[in-house]
């Protein structure tokens, strides 16, 4: 809980930020709300592979931390940063295809224009987001979760203030409307990343964790990409299919359905983000105990994480179902949007327990470096059910309404959650160890010894 609570608070603060932005955008109209949701998810799906790779910085640093090979912690931080810079360059061509992407989804010309503009603003901060994520995972893996929380709180406050100013044109700044919400998020993320970089490069980090070792290292970078690619594929498959589900499958029922789905998703994020924060802490602990040669404790922490996560998400599920009308009513008074959103909230409530399995056990398996098989199974299930079956239901059985697609989406969540729980419980991941010592220790003996002795040196105990 020492690791998890600050991380949960951090992720909850992101949820607050998104709810604030969604509330501001909802006051611009149903079309603006649909555009923000669609463009936000499309953008996230484009960056998702990068998020998946950056998340593995946690796994690699945690295992090095558990082994007390502290000098290698900083190395993996920098391999993540180099990856973030490279990946952001690969995103640049997408600026030219904004309208094309949303036209292919069959959206109206006016909606396409809003979505493409919003997407371009969000893509502009790709490098900043990924670097911040690498720094945050590094700090958590080196047992400093409160630094992430502090940075997140400052970012949320910054985002709320700037969104209020930029969306509506307050405090003498231009009124940017929908794009104002996107710029506010970028500003908030930038502030957060600057704070995290400061903690990563402070005196303690430089002295103990070698965080000025910014050299690109082929072996460490290859290790990051080898493990991170599976994680990235799982991230992008999950995000992209849910994006298509939102923009194309639900979009078949019109803008009212997309708006209702957007508002329901806002509450799903409310439950998901704290659970994701818990999963990030589980990743760190599983990796740390593997580094300490205690896979038995890794197993226990994974299951404990699920118990805590399940209690939270079950509580959220009950609230979603019992208070669905009041929750959707917070965003809209349109009767059609309200009816659709309230229906979706029932499915969201049912989905919660399986989402807890998925989120927590994905994090636990990632901490052990078991990313490829979960990624393959996740992609097979989400493309066949969330896109394939749900899309067929929307177009071949429109009389089922929104119930058809969401039934298949919920079925997908149940299958994937149970699979990941079984896979972690079987313990095959105990045979995996992300150990690069054989290839690097000989050439780095002096550096490793100096770094490991740094705490003793700081106490004047040089021997």
Beta carbons of 70 and 209 less than 8 angstroms apart:
yes
Q: How many whole angstroms separate alpha carbon 323 and alpha carbon 327?
A: 6
HSE of 367, CA atoms in CB hemisphere, 13 A? 36
User: Does residue 439 form part of some domain?
Assistant: no
User: Does residue 361 form part of some domain?
Assistant: yes
Q: How many whole angstroms separate alpha carbon 227 and alpha carbon 219?
A: 12
Tell me, rounded to whole angstroms, the distance of Cα 403 from its chain centroid: 27
Q: Which helix (H) or strand (E) holds 343?
A: helix 335-367
Tokens of 415: 């299958």
User: Does residue 147 form part of some domain?
Assistant: yes
Tokens of 457: 């040196």
Check the CA dihedral 141-146-149-155 and report its sign: negative
Q: How many CB atoms lie within 10 A of CB 93?
A: 8
Let me know if 294 is exposed, middle or buried by CB neighbors in 10 A (0-12, 13-18, 19+): middle
Q: How many whole angstroms separate alpha carbon 419 and alpha carbon 99?
A: 38
> How many domains would you assign to the chain?
1
User: Does residue 445 form part of some domain?
Assistant: no
Q: What three-state secondary structure class fits 323? A: coil
Tell me, rounded to whole angstroms, the distance of Cα 39 from its chain centroid: 16
For residues 402, 407, 410, 414, the Cα torsion angle rounded to the nearest 10 degrees is: 180
Q: Look up the domain containing 151 and give its range.
A: 4-426
**Can you give the pLDDT of all 463 residues of the chain as single tens digits?**
888 888 887 777 776 777 778 778 878 887 888 788 788 888 888 888 998 999 999 999 999 999 888 888 999 999 999 999 999 999 998 888 888 888 887 788 888 898 899 999 999 999 999 999 999 999 999 999 899 889 988 998 999 999 999 999 988 888 888 889 889 989 999 999 999 999 999 998 999 998 998 999 999 999 999 989 999 999 888 888 988 898 789 988 888 888 888 889 888 888 888 888 899 999 999 999 998 999 999 999 999 999 999 999 999 999 999 999 999 998 888 889 999 999 999 999 999 999 999 999 999 999 999 999 999 999 999 999 999 999 999 999 989 989 999 999 999 999 999 999 999 999 988 887 666 554 444 334 333 333 433 443 334 333 3
Using only C-alpha atoms, the chain has a radius of gyration, in whole angstroms, of 22
Tokens of 92: 């640049």
User: Does residue 11 form part of some domain?
Assistant: yes
- Model pLDDT, residue 463: 30
Q: What three-state secondary structure class fits 142? A: coil
> What's the Cα-to-Cα distance from 82 to each of 124, 411, 433, rounded to whole Å?
17, 39, 23
Q: How many CB atoms lie within 10 A of CB 190?
A: 16
Q: How many whole angstroms separate alpha carbon 338 and alpha carbon 359?
A: 29
User: Does residue 141 form part of some domain?
Assistant: yes
Beta carbons of 70 and 64 less than 8 angstroms apart:
yes
Phi, psi of 446 (to 5 degrees): -65, -45
Q: What three-state secondary structure class fits 173? A: coil
Phi, psi of 453 (to 5 degrees): -85, -5
User: Does residue 457 form part of some domain?
Assistant: no
Residue 272 backbone zone (phi > 0: left; psi -120 to 50: alpha; other: beta): alpha
Helix ranges (DSSP H) in 210-334: 218-244, 255-291, 295-322, 324-329
Q: How many whole angstroms separate alpha carbon 386 and alpha carbon 412?
A: 7
User: Does residue 442 form part of some domain?
Assistant: no
């Amino acid at each position: 809980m020492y690791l998890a609570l600050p991380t949960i608070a951090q992720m909850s603060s992101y949820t607050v930020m998104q709810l604030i932005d969604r509330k501001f955008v909802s006051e611009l109209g149903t079309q603006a709300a649909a555009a923000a949701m669609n463009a936000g998810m499309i953008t996230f799906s484009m960056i998702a592979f990068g998020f998946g790779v950056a998340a593995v910085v946690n796994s690699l640093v945690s295992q090095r931390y558990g082994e007390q090979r502290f000098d290698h912690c900083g190395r993996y931080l920098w391999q993540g940063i180099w990856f973030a810079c490279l990946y952001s360059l690969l995103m640049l061509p997408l600026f030219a295809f904004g309208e094309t992407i949303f036209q292919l989804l069959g959206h109206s010309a006016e909606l396409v224009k809003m979505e493409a503009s919003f997407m371009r603003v969000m893509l502009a901060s790709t490098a900043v987001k990924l670097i911040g994520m690498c720094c945050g995972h590094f700090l958590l893996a080196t047992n400093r979760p409160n630094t992430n929380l502090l940075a997140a709180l400052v970012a949320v406050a910054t985002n709320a203030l700037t969104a209020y100013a930029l969306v509506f044109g307050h405090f003498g700044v231009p009124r940017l409307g929908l794009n104002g919400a996107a710029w506010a998020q970028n500003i908030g993320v930038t502030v957060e990343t600057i704070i995290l970089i400061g903690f990563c490069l402070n005196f303690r980090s430089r002295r103990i964790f070698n965080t000025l070792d910014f050299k690109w290292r082929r072996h460490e970078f290859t290790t990051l990409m080898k493990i991170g690619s599976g994680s990235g594929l799982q991230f992008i498959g999950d995000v992209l299919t849910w994006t298509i589900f939102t923009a194309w499958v639900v979009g078949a029922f019109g803008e009212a359905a997309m708006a209702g789905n957007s508002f329901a998703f806002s509450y799903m994020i409310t439950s998901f983000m704290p659970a994701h924060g818990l999963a990030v802490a589980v990743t760190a602990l599983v990796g740390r105990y593997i580094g300490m040669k205690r896979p038995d404790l890794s197993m226990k922490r994974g299951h404990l994480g699920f118990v805590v996560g399940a209690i939270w998400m079950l509580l959220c599920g009950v609230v979603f179902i019992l208070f669905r009308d009041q929750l959707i009513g917070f965003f809209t008074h349109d009767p059609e949007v309200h009816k659709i959103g309230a229906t979706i909230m029932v499915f969201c409530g049912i989905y919660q327990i399986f989402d807890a399995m998925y989120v927590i056990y994905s994090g636990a398996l990632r901490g052990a470096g078991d990313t490829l098989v979960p990624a393959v199974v996740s992609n097979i299930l989400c493309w066949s059910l969330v896109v394939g079956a749900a899309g067929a239901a929307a177009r071949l059985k429109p009389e089922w309404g929104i119930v058809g697609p969401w039934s298949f989406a919920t079925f997908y969540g149940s299958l994937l959650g149970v699979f990941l729980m079984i896979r972690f419980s079987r313990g095959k991941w105990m045979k995996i160890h992300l150990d690069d010592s054989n290839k690097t220790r000989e050439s780095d003996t002096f550096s490793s010894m100096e770094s490991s002795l740094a705490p003793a040196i700081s106490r004047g105990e040089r021997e």
